[in-house]
Structure 1
Amino acid sequence: MFLTVVLLVVGIALVLLGADKLTDGATGLARRFNVTEMVIGLTVVAFGTSLPEFVTSFMSALKGSSEISIGNIVGSNTFNVLMIVGCSALVSPIVISKSTIHKDIPFAILATLSLIVVSLDAVLDGGQFENLISRTDGLMLLGLFAVFMFYTFSIARNKDGAGEQPQALQIAPMSYGRIFLYVILGLAGLVFGGNLFVDAATEIALSMGVSETVVGLTLVAAGTSLPELATSIVAARKGSSAIAIGNVVGSNIFNIFFVMGFCATVSPMPVGSISYFDLGLMLLSVLILWCFSYTKRTIERWEGGVMVAVYLVYLAYLIHQA
C-alpha cells in the first residue's frame, strides 16, 4: 500500500509538471506564429489546464475503468466551480465581465446539459438496460467543441474582445528548441504520470473497498484539477479576475466537449454508478456560479464561502455513501 501511495503521488507530480511544461511550450509556439493572446488564453491555456483530466480519463477508458474516467470529468467540473471559484473568491472577490455572464457561463451550462443528456442514453446489455456514452454521443460532443472553437476565434476577431487579453500571458518569445523540449517533456510527463495515477488510484479503491466512482469523483477529480486551482488562486490574488473565472469556465467546457467527446469516440463508456445526484450537482454548481455572477457582477467572499461549503457537504455525502 505504501508503494501504491508513492506511485499515486509521483503520478500526480508528473501530470502537473507535464501540463505546466506543455502549456508553456504550446503558448510559446502560438506566440511564435503570431496568434493573439486572446486566442492563446481561450484555447491553449484552457486546454493546457484540462490536459490532466484528458490524460487521466483517456488512460482510464483504455484500461476499462470508465467509472474513473467519467467520475473524473463530473468530479473535476464540480470541484472547479465550487472549490476553485469559491477559494479564489475567498482570497479576493472576483469581478465578472458582461461577456462572461451572457456568453461564456451559458456555454458552460450548455456543455453540462449535453453531458447529462448523453449520460441518459440506455442500451440493452445482457438482458438489462445500461446507460452508455456511445461513439455517436462522443462525436456529437466533439462537434459542439468545434462550435465552441469557432465561437472563440470569432471573439478574437472582435475588436471589443481584443482589449480583454489575459495579462498573465504576456511572456517573452521562446526559442524553437526550448518549445520542442517543453512539448516533449510535457507529453511524456502527462502520459507516464496519468498511467501511474490511474493504476494507483484503482488499486487503492479496490484495496479499501471503495468504488471506482467515488475515487473518480473525489481523489482523481481533485488531483487533476490542481492546475486550475493554482492558476485561479494566483490570478485572483494578483487581481486578474478574468483569468481566474475564465480558466474555470473554459476548462469545464473543454472537459466535457473535448475530453469526454474524444474518450467516448475512441471507446464507448458505460456510465456505471455515476448517479443523477452527481450529475445534478454538477449542473447546480454552474447555475450557482451564474446566479452569483449577477449580484453586482462580483462573486463576493461570502458567496465563495457558500460555494466551498456546498462542496464540502457533497464530499461528506460521498464519503458517507462509500
Structure 2
Amino acid sequence: MTISHLIAFTAGLLLLYYGAGWLVRGASTLARSLGLSPMVIGLTVVAFGTSAPELVVSLVSAVKGKSMIALGNVVGSNICNIALVLGLTAVFQPVKTSRIVITRDIPLMLAISAYLLLLSFNSVIGRIEGVTLFGGILAYTWFNYKVAVRVSRAMPGLVGEAAIVPPTNAGLMQKTWMQCLMIVGGTAGVVVGADLLVDAAVSVMSVLGVNEKFVGLTVVAFGTSVPELATSVVAAMKKEMDISLGNLVGSNVFNLLSVVGATAMVRPIAIAGGFVGSGLVVDYLVMMTISALPWVMMRGDLTISRRKGLILIGCYVAYVIFLIFKS
C-alpha cells in the first residue's frame, strides 16, 4: 500500500466523519427551524444521517461493480458496532439499557438479519428484494414514531429530551442559508469521502492480494464505523453517555434495511463465488451471534460491564484474526 493510498484512505475517513456530522447538524437545525419537533428529527433526520457513511459507501461500491464490498461493509459494520464500539464504550463506562431493547429491539434486529440471510441464499439480492428491505425501514421508522408519540403523551418532555439533536444556538446556524450550506457541504463530503475510501480499498485488494469480501468486512466496515466509534469512546471518557445500546441496535437495523435495500434497488448485489462458496454465510452467522451477545449479557442487570465489554472486544479481535488467516 503506497503513501498515496494511505493519504486517500485517511482523507476519505475524515470526509466521511466530518461530512456526516455537517449533514446531520445542518439538516437537524433546518428541520427544527421549519417547526419539526426534536422527536421527529431524531427519528428521521438524525437516524438517516448517521447511517450516511455506510449508505453512500455501499452505493458507490455497487455502482463501481464491487458488490461484495457493499455487502461486506454492512455485515462488517454491524459486527463492529456491537463488538468493538459497544465493547470499548463499556470498558470506559459500563453501558445500561432499558428492558425494551432486550425484549423488542435486539430480537427485531436478529429477525431482520435472518431475513437477509434467507434473501442471500440464491447468491444475489435483487431489486424486488431491495424494495422489501427498504420498505422495512419505512415501516420501522413509522412504528418508532407512533411509539414515541404514545410515550410523549404519557410522559411529556421525555422524548424531546432524549432525542439526540445537535444544538441550534450557534448564531450563524440560525440562518437558513448556513443550514443549507452545511447540508450541501456535508453531502458532498460524504460522497467524495466514500469515493476515496472505496478506491483506496480496491487498491488494498490489488496490493495485498485479498478479495472484496475481506476488504468490505474489515477496512471499509471499520472506516464507516469510525463516527460511531469516536462518538461513543469520547462520550464514555467524559461519562456523558449520549450513546446507548439502543442507538447501536437502531444503526444496525438501518444498515440492514436502508443500506442493503437502497443499494440493491440501484444495482442488484451479486455475491461472487456464491453465498456458501464465498464463506459469506459464515460472516452472516458471526454477525447474528455477536448481535445476540448483548441480549445474553444484559438479560439480568441490563448492563454491559467492563468485563463483558472486554469479552465483546475479544470477539471482534478473534473474528478479524480469523479473516486474516482465512485470506
TM-score scaled to structure 1, two decimals? 0.92
Q: Deviations over 1:79-127 (max 9, x none)?
A: 001100111111111111122222222222222222212111x2xxxxx
For the Cα contact (< 8 Å) 1:141–1:257, is it kept in 2? yes
After TM superposition, give the deviation of residue 238 of structure 1 in Å. 4.5
Q: Deviations over 1:27-66 (max 9, x none)?
A: 1122223333233333322322211111110000000000
Return 159-168 or 297-306, whichever deviates more.
159-168
Aligned-pair identity (%)? 37
Question: CA, structure 1 residues 168+70, in 2 after alignment: closer, same or farther (shift >3 Å)?
Answer: closer
The residue aligned with 2:135 is 143
The residue aligned with 2:289 is 284
Q: Does 1:156 align with 2:148?
A: yes
Partner SS, residue 243 of structure 1: coil
For the Cα contact (< 8 Å) 1:37–1:170, is it kept in 2? no
The residue aligned with 2:75 is 74
Q: Which of 296, 301, 307 is the matching residue for 1:296?
A: 301
Return 204-213 or 100-109, whichever deviates more.
100-109
Partner SS, residue 124 of structure 2: strand
Q: What runs of 5+ residues in structure 2 fail to find an aligned partner?
A: 273-277
The residue aligned with 1:60 is 61
The residue aligned with 1:86 is 87
Question: CA, structure 1 residues 87+97, in 2 after alignment: closer, same or farther (shift >3 Å)?
Answer: same
Return 149-158 or 72-81, whichever deviates more.
149-158
Amino acid at match of 2:283: D
Q: Deviations over 1:229-286 (max 9, x none)?
A: 1222233345454633232111111111101000001111112235211000100111
The residue aligned with 1:256 is 256
Amino acid at match of 2:235: A
Partner SS, residue 255 of structure 1: helix
Amino acid at match of 2:321: A
Separation in structure 2 between the aligned mates of residue 133 and residue 176 of structure 1, nearest angstrom: 40
Aligned length: 313
Separation in structure 2 between the aligned mates of residue 259 and residue 233 of structure 1, nearest angstrom: 25
Return 274-283 or 72-81, whichever deviates more.
274-283
Amino acid at match of 2:262: F
The residue aligned with 2:275 is none
The residue aligned with 1:127 is none
Q: Does 1:43 align with 2:44?
A: yes
For the Cα contact (< 8 Å) 1:42–1:250, is it kept in 2? no
After TM superposition, give the deviation of residue 13 of structure 1 in Å. 1.2
Q: Does 1:200 align with 2:200?
A: yes
Runs (4+) off by over 6 Å: none
Partner SS, residue 236 of structure 2: helix
